[in-house]
Chains A and B, each alone.
Chain A
Amino acid sequence: MQSFTVHTGIVASLPRDNVDTDQIIPKQFLKRIERTGYGNVLFFDWRYDKEGRPDATFPLNAPQYRGATILLAGKNFGCGSSREHAVWALRDYGFRAIIAPSFADIFANNCVKNGVLTVALRPSEIAQLLARDAAGLYRLKIDLEQRQVSWNGGFQAHFDIDPFSRSLLLEGLDEIGTTLKREAEIEKYEQRRQAGL
């Protein structure tokens, strides 16, 4: 897994609450058996019109957001279906981090497993970022080690992240490999379980 330490990138804003994973990647793209190749269908139904052309009214299609690697979103981002394809699509499109007031649980879990950082900021901080967005293209620096989001002009916000997710992201660990190192304990548990204890 790709690790995440410090990232600086262009921010794209999608200020809608409760964006569900059905919108992030509609069901017709869940029939593939690969983990990659979902970037061009991210937000498919919102992003393209009926003829398959980019819909100019969809925020992510704005020219200023070209090359964006950080997504600024509304509260409860990623709610609904557990489909990890949603994270694969965001990652394949180029997003390394998502900033929002809050995230749905399964989605946030899936992000960690794919090296995508979710940053929960206070509504007042999100409002500052949206105001900055209105003034044109800007970049943010996200430092996971320091748990800080900032830009050169002075904005600085601290974010909380559970230590476990943080260390997985910082080190880009193979989580399965880490758990398999606890084989002796798992086996012991299985013996207790078998005995009905």
Chain B
Amino acid sequence: MKHMTARTLFDKIWDRHVVCTGPEGSSILYIDLHLVHEVTSPQAFEGLRQANRKVRRTDLTFATLDHNIPTTGDRRLLEDALARTQVEALRKNCRDFGVPLFDLDAPEQGIVHVIGPELGLTQPGATIVCGDSHTSTHGAFGALAFGIGTSEVEHVLATQCLVQKKPKSMLVRFSGLMGAGVTAKDLILALIAQIGIDGATGHVIEYAGEAIRALSMEARMTVCNMSIEGGARAGMIAPDQTTFDYLKGRRFAPQGYAWEKAQQQWSTLKSDAGAKFDSTVEINAAQIAPFVTWGTNPGMAAPVTGEVPDPDQGANASERNGMARALEYMGLSAHTRIEDISVDRVFIGSCTNARLEDIRSAARVVKGYRISNSVQGMIVPGSQQVKREAEKEGLHRIFTDAGFEWRESGCSMCLGMNADRLKPGERCASTSNRNFEGRQGVGGRTHLVSPAMAAAAAVAGRFVDVRKWHYKD
């Protein structure tokens, strides 16, 4: 079929997956990959049972355990009875319905958005869903990937399709190149600070520009991961040689002749010249400093060289209220310099920043130092594979020598469903994605930063500008 009009990358993937038009202007969209975890799936499988339905494509469905599992000790014991019930429910559901499961003792186990890419399940041009809002991560490969609720999980299990209304499109172009010490995390935090946490609601973002092209796959995943924190339905980056080099040889990636054919087809996955976006945002990456959030949503962020804003500067009454509430919760006063904020805990982990490159970047900062006496630090690799690779490079020793705990893989303190939680009032430098009230534990205070910034905060006991770090390597 010839398309006369210029299309965006998003248009191309969308068009290719429309099975047929659905009711009332919607489309029935085919799903190429469905990832499942223990927390948002039990009710979906139960729904299938009640309606006597089966999983349509067990070959396109993969499950893992990540959200509520322990990251210490013998994980098979699972002392938390409720968590155990949920874990056992997923095991039974996978057995009953024939869905492959990467269980707690599997070498593939890890955070669902870390293992999809590292196993080569995540591929350019695919539609990917999961009952988790950070499914946007997979868009880094030029896939259309988005989070869904449990009812939609059930819908995909039963039909391998979703009924969707096509979202709008947004182009975010990062021109220029980031300075040393500035990371993908800072790019995305800067974007969200600029457009707001609902700035991209109803849109699929395509990230483009010189700064994006220069990013590794791991860094691209960090950017796409937090698209949802700007309200976007999904975020994506057109695949290129960096993408192909990452994927080649991975377990579920096409091999041999199929690889050549796939790569040829993937090379066409980019927005045509002149393709129209519903909105466009331009940001100069060269001017971005490392970012630190000061409030209770990811848009409340400032450069590390800045200070906590004054709620009086809010644009309107409700924004002023929101800022004042946030400062009260965070125990911060206006005009405090970001570098004067001290931390009690440091968490390096999550689907945003727990891949090998993130762990390496933190290790490079920590090497030769000890973390501050007043800080408790924790490294939670994103997957067992990340953990193995990091250990092969000896990174775990750098961390444990410095006083960090080196844990097993899982979502851990990103959302605190397991025992890894902040105590009330504790302040944490975290490489995760959400600083909502109570997110990391009731009364806990979260500051979102990059892995390098978190590592530097662990050593200094407060936030410091990692661009001025004295590396001992």
18 interchain pairs (CB within 8 A)?
A22-B434, A23-B437, A31-B83, A80-B133, A80-B436, A81-B133, A82-B147, A105-B201, A109-B149, A110-B149, A110-B150, A162-B165, A164-B25, A176-B159, A179-B28, A182-B22, A186-B19, A193-B30
CA distance A20 to B298 in the complex (A): 11
Stretch at the interface among B35-43, B137-145, B177-185, B392-400: B35-43
* A175 CB within 8 Å of chain B: yes
A-B pairs with beta carbons under 8 A, tally: 177
* B451 CB within 8 Å of chain A: no
How many Å from the CB of B449 to the closest CB on chain A? 19
- Please name the 8 residue pairs, one residue from A and one from B, whose CB atoms are nearest each other, closest first: A113-B151, A33-B42, A84-B149, A110-B149, A31-B82, A163-B24, A76-B198, A164-B24
Complex interface: chain A residues within 8 A of B159 (CB)? 176, 179-180, 186
Are A16 and B322 in contact (CB-based, < 8 A)? yes
Are B442 and A45 in contact (CB-based, < 8 A)? yes
* B303 CB within 8 Å of chain A: no
CA distance A83 to B163 in the complex (A): 19
Per-residue CB proximity of A78-89 to B under 8 Å, as 1/0?
011111100100
Q: A20-B436, A84-B150 are in contact. Are A176 and B53 (CB under 8 A)?
A: yes
Are A31 and B19 in contact (CB-based, < 8 A)? no
- Per the 8 Å Cβ criterion, residues 174-197 of A in contact with B are 175-180, 182, 185-186, 189-190, 193, 196
Instruction: With a 10 A CB-CB cut-off, give which of B23, B167, B417 has the most chain A CB atoms.
Output: B23
Per-residue CB proximity of B258-269 to A under 8 Å, as 1/0?
000100000000
Count residues of A near B (Cβ-Cβ below 8 Å). 53
Q: A17-B319, A31-B39, A163-B25 are in contact. Are A104 and B231 (CB under 8 A)?
A: yes
* A51 CB within 8 Å of chain B: no
* B460 CB within 8 Å of chain A: no
Instruction: With a 10 A CB-CB cut-off, give which of A20, A28, A87, A175 has the most chain B CB atoms.
Output: A175
Q: Which of B22, B149, B155 contacts A176 (CB 8 A)?
A: B155
Q: A106-B147, A176-B158 are in contact. Are A34 and B68 (CB under 8 A)?
A: no
Are A15 and B25 in contact (CB-based, < 8 A)? no
Q: Which of A27, A79, A113, A167 contacts B417 (CB 8 A)?
A: A27
